[in-house]
């Protein structure tokens, strides 16, 4: 496996979403990379791949998956991994990422990022699956922290402890979703700064920035609004600990005009460049 395929700092990016295809193809966009949802392009042909090829000619691409189901006790689906490898071979991405979760069972895809217990038993399962993915893709992958609304009585370690051990045992890297950390911290009552302090900084290659909404008695990871102040504050803390790390605005719903997201990305650049953050 070639660790050199995971470069340390790739600047500031945006998720490539269909409402922005025309804009992105028509003009120069002030981003260092675009991230795409892998599953939308794991197809044999059609307009999505035409758009992706055109964007790839001008920008680096990160592949971000939502249904690898790395926590699945059934193991990973070989056909899924092969289709993802075909896409990765075509795109030559900065990296390939997916979430620490499971999404289905026995062929059923829930289209939800379902949490798993953080135990020694699930560690064995996830390590085997990460090895399977990395062996097929011939590259290390990034694992993203999910947001969660329930915890398990079987939990034996913190989420950040689980991710740390996962990196150590598999050589994978991390994608930290700062909003997800905040949402889970509020929902479960842990200190988000302890999470930031607890992850292996040298393994983090990307962060996601996003907004959330207030549900009944808990925060919901809706990714449908701008990054709020508490998440910016946590991003500043993460930047102090991690140093320069690729950052991206991740909007999945209620997609605003591209220029609104570019303005939000400029805020991220400003926080990361703030002397008070850089001096740490
Ligand atoms: Fe995310």
Q: Within 13 Å and on the Cβ side, how many CA atoms surround 237?
A: 20
Query: What is this structure's pTM?
Result: 0.94
Q: For residues 138 and 132, give the distance between their C-alpha atoms in angstroms, rounded to a whole number.
A: 10
Q: How far is the CA of 17 from the centre of ligand 1 (A)?
A: 14
The pLDDT score that the predictor gives to residue 246 is 97
Q: 108 CA to middle of ligand 1, Å?
A: 23
Q: Are 29 and 258 in contact (CB under 8 A)?
A: yes
In percent, the amount of the chain with pLDDT more than 90 equals 74
Say what percent of the chain tops pLDDT 70: 95
Distance 239 CA to ligand 1 centre (A): 17
Q: Residue 119 CB: number of other CB atoms within 10 A?
A: 15
pLDDT of residue 9: 82
**Ion ligand 1: residues, Cβ under 5 Å:** 177, 208, 250
Higher pLDDT, 7 or 77: 77
- Residue 153: closest CA among 119, 198, 126, 104: 119
E strands, the chain, are 12-15, 33-37, 61-64, 96-99, 102-105, 108-114, 142-144, 173-177, 204-209, 213-214, 219-220, 246-249
**C-alpha R_g of the chain:** 18
Rounded distance from Cα 137 to ligand 1 centre (Å): 21
Between the CA of 184 and the centroid of ligand 1 the distance, in Å, is 13
Quote the ligand 1 centre to 141 CA distance (angstroms): 15
């Amino acid at each position: 496996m070639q660790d050199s395929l995971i470069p340390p700092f790739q600047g500031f990016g945006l998720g490539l979403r269909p409402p922005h295809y025309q804009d992105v193809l028509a003009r120069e966009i002030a981003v260092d990379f675009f991230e795409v949802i892998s599953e939308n392009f794991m197809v044999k042909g059609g307009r999505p791949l035409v758009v992706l090829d055109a964007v790839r000619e001008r920008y680096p691409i990160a592949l971000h998956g939502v249904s690898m189901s790395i926590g699945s006790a059934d193991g990973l689906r070989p056909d899924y991994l092969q289709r993802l490898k075909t896409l990765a071979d075509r795109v030559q991405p900065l990296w390939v990422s997916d979430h620490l979760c499971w999404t289905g069972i026995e062929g059923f895809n829930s289209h939800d990022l379902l949490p798993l217990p953080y135990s020694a038993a699930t560690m064995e399962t996830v390590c085997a699956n990460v090895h399977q993915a990395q062996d097929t893709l011939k590259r290390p992958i990034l694992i993203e922290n999910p947001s969660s609304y329930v915890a398990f009585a079987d939990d034996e370690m913190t989420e950040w402890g689980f991710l740390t051990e996962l990196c150590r045992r598999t050589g994978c890297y991390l994608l930290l979703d700062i909003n997800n950390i905040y949402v889970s911290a509020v929902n479960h009552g842990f200190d988000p700064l302890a999470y930031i302090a607890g992850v292996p900084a040298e393994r983090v290659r990307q962060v996601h920035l996003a907004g959330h909404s207030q549900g009944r008695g808990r925060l919901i990871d809706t990714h449908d609004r701008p990054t709020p102040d508490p998440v910016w504050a946590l991003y500043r803390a993460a930047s102090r600990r991690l140093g320069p790390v690729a950052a991206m605005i991740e909007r999945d719903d209620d997609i605003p005009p591209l220029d609104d997201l570019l303005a939000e990305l400029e805020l991220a650049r400003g926080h990361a460049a703030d002397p008070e953050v850089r001096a740490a």
